[in-house]
Structure 1
Amino acid sequence: MRKKLQFIDFKILIPYIVLNIIGMIMIFSASSYNLDQLGKSPFSIALRQAAFFIISLLIILLIYKTKMRVYQTAVFQQIMVGITYVLLISTSILGLGSTIGGAQRWINIGGFTFQPSEFVIITTILYTAYILSRRQKTINTHFWKSILIPVIIVGSMILLIMIQPNVGGAAIISLLFLILLLASGIPAAYTFISFGGILLFTGLAWLIVMFKGGMLIPERFSHVYDRFAVVADPFADKHDNGFQLVNSYFAIYNGSWFGQGLGKSIQKKGFLPVAETDFIFSITIEELGLIMALIILGILFFMIIHILKVGIKSTSAFNSLVCIGVASAIMLQLFINLGGILSIIPMTGVPFPFLSYGGSNLITMSILVGLALNISAEERRISQQFFLPEYTPHK
């Protein structure tokens, strides 16, 4: 472990720590007023996030110590996919999860609430990278035999996520799978056939669920429809479905270039409910200003681009696909969150990476960062060994 620490990639680790520190400060600022009004400690949510951050650092250390070949074993993949199915079926089919905001996608264990759909991101990246890296030589000649099972497995996970319903999570997994297929080197035609197969499988299965449910499922999706309807003009329904988006606009407008000052947000005082989650970036702009918001985005983009660079230079197809998947997952989550608060796309409940409050999302993102750090260290070690001059004994 000591030898491995010399290969740690600070271009990934430092941005990760900086973003989390900024996130904890903004979570405290965004949540303290409402907590104080409810008679609770203004530090309670921020302290919970700090606890999740410490747990995340320990998880990163554990992943960093693990050899990457462990993740490339059939046993590990079978256990990981099996656990993912159990968690998704528990919430989507058996109804064992908690319902929040019209969606049943949370599981509560010992006071810790997490979303199984968050961990599907990890499963999709590791499983797809495992399959595609092992079948690179046969995928062009035996395409359907090589890709049919992954399409069914990933497609069924997307379906289970949609049933919850979690449109944002389903979109992230779908696009992530498409990116990994494109990055694997298989012909573009095969890639889009595979992606089309996922859409077809998910669509047909979804129609079966609708009819078997006596058309009751669409009523469960009424809040999703409302979110789509409000995108065109949030101000047309500013007292109901457009309430959050309108106040998000006000927060961004109030921030201007340099912000109102830390802790001086107006919109967090009852105008923007649960500001520490989906709309944390709106409060960040209001308090710290557009320039600081751009700096935060710059730090995040720097980390994403560096992880991509590690993936492109990797000597292993598995390592390369995992890094590309990690960078893509963070990027997709960022774009969907920003698109939601700017009303470019409907709000889907996707948090801002490393800034939004939420234990399951932070742990998921941290696991991905841990994988990227492990791969970077492994590639650096291989590179050093490759370029190390041969030892010649003295005569």
Structure 2
Amino acid sequence: MKINKRHLLNYSIFLPYLALSILGLIIIYSTTSASLVQKGANPFSSVLNQTIFWFLSLIAIAFIYRLKLDFLKKTSIVSLAIWIEIGMLLYSRFFTETVNGAHGWIAITVGERSLFTFQPAEYLKILIIWYLALTFSKRQEEVGIYDYQALTRGTLFPRKFQDWRFYSALMVFLVAFQPDLGNATIIILTAIIMFSVSGIGFRWFSGLLSLIVAGSTLLLGFISVVGVNTVAKVPVFGYVAKRFSAFFNPFEDVQGAGHQLANSYYAMSNGGWFGRGLGNSIEKRGYLPESQTDFVFSIVIEELGYIGGALILALVFFLILRILLVGIKAKNPFNSMMALGVGGMILVQVFVNIGGISGLIPSTGVTFPFLSLGGNSLLVLSVAIAFVLNIDANEKREAIYRELGDTLSR
């Protein structure tokens, strides 16, 4: 008896994904059309570009959903993907032009015409989950006996190039060296989540979380004491100095370092509980830079109000919860860690973005999942969703086979 996977699609994940993707297209049109009209460009150009990536995402979901999971568990395939990723990160750092003070975008051109650009750092988010899930799932018996030492081999630093810590640290360093500290932060936190769900004792997760909170507090305190201008002299870190300056007091330099965060506050204040109405934002008309990417949720609140923003967040958290539930229920260690990693990655990205626009943490230039303009981000999120849908269908099918086997043996 063969069970077709199309009958096992998890609609509690797929339908929220569709709803958020379509809502994202509406919000992207709302946040970009006015500025495009001012420039004399087609007001639909940004949303059309995002729509193309969405269709590509749906094709990717259909393809990945049909894949056999054994394909994803081949070390040779993951190793090839890692080396390709390292090569793209190196190329994007040393052979591409800067955008907003950073490298990281590779343009695919035909003649003098650029077809599209992609950002290798975005794809590392899902690659690091895949790589660590495969690596840790192969050591489950050792983890059960030796706890975290089964993953670290009892050493603080890697002693071999094959060590997962070496490859992970190398790729994170290349992302930070772009410099792209926003994506580097998400990748680091995602890797910590993967380490925490690998089967090690819960006390290590709480210990890591405490270290992150303490380290972040000390770093911000240090920057506050020595001054942002002093820290800005550190190589690579200089481009984010303004973000830290805005974090401490955005209204001290409203026309300079604090411009974005201050106008983010204005946008949310303008929205109130019920918003000004879709398309009626004031701040998106040149007052709030990056209103279609990093600060898109500020515009969402201005147009739809805190209630509208809360409903969108509720839908996002529902999607994350359903993804995490797949990981919790999964019997296979690889499947479990993949799903938990994807849910954790999306949760971290939401926290970093909302924390940045609200002043809870320094802004890092991270986009909001599904709603921000960015085809690469949407494609990566869609691939991650596809992995979870495939895993969930396979887990359901295996459960049915086990139940049938038990029934026949009675």
* Structure 1 residues 87 and 220, CA gap change in structure 2 (3 angstroms): same
1:176 is the counterpart of 2:190 = yes
Deviation at 1:145, TM superposition (A): 4.0
Q: Is the 8 A contact 1:102 1:220 kept in 2?
A: no
Deviation at 1:173, TM superposition (A): 1.2
**Could you say which residue in structure 1 is the equivalent of 2:87?**
86
* Structure 1 residues 143 and 378, CA gap change in structure 2 (3 angstroms): closer
Q: Within 5 Å, give how 1:175-194 maps onto structure 2.
A: 175-187=189-201
1:350 is the counterpart of 2:351 = no
Deviation at 1:83, TM superposition (A): 1.0
Instruction: Spell out, residue by residue over 1:217-246, the C-alpha distance to the aligned partner (whole angstroms, 9 max, x if none).
Output: 935432211111210110101001111111
One-letter identity of the residue aligned with 1:182:
S
Deviation at 1:263, TM superposition (A): 0.8
Q: Distance in 2 between matches of 1:66 and 1:217?
A: 49
Q: Is the 8 A contact 2:136 2:151 kept in 1?
A: no
* Structure 1 residues 19 and 237, CA gap change in structure 2 (3 angstroms): same
Deviation at 1:274, TM superposition (A): 3.0
One-letter identity of the residue aligned with 2:334:
F
Structure 1, unpaired ranges of 5+: 200-215
One-letter identity of the residue aligned with 1:243:
H
Q: Distance in 1 between matches of 2:295 and 2:33?
A: 15
Q: Secondary structure at the match of 1:322?
A: helix
TM-score when scaled to structure 2?
0.86
Instruction: Spell out, residue by residue over 1:315-364, the C-alpha distance to the aligned partner (whole angstroms, 9 max, x if none).
Output: 10000000010001100111111011111112211100000000111111
1:122 is the counterpart of 2:126 = yes
Q: Secondary structure at the match of 2:103?
A: strand
- Farther off after superposition, 268-277 or 15-24: 268-277
**Could you say which residue in structure 2 is the equivalent of 1:3?**
4
Deviation at 1:387, TM superposition (A): 2.4
1:295 is the counterpart of 2:299 = no
Q: Distance in 2 between matches of 1:164 and 1:55?
A: 27
**Could you say which residue in structure 2 is the equivalent of 1:58?**
59
**Could you say which residue in structure 2 is the equivalent of 1:256?**
272
One-letter identity of the residue aligned with 1:114:
F
Residues paired across the two proteins, number: 372
Q: Is the 8 A contact 1:252 1:286 kept in 2?
A: yes
Q: Distance in 2 between matches of 1:188 and 1:328?
A: 16
1:232 is the counterpart of 2:232 = no
Identity, % of aligned positions = 39
1:12 is the counterpart of 2:16 = no
Q: Distance in 2 between matches of 1:135 and 1:217?
A: 44
TM-score when scaled to structure 1?
0.89
Q: Is the 8 A contact 2:353 2:368 kept in 1?
A: yes
Q: Secondary structure at the match of 1:184?
A: coil
One-letter identity of the residue aligned with 1:40:
A
Q: Is the 8 A contact 2:245 2:258 kept in 1?
A: no
Instruction: Spell out, residue by residue over 1:276-305, the C-alpha distance to the aligned partner (whole angstroms, 9 max, x if none).
Output: 111111111111111111111011100101
Q: Secondary structure at the match of 1:87?
A: helix
Alignment RMSD, CA only? 2.3
One-letter identity of the residue aligned with 2:105:
W
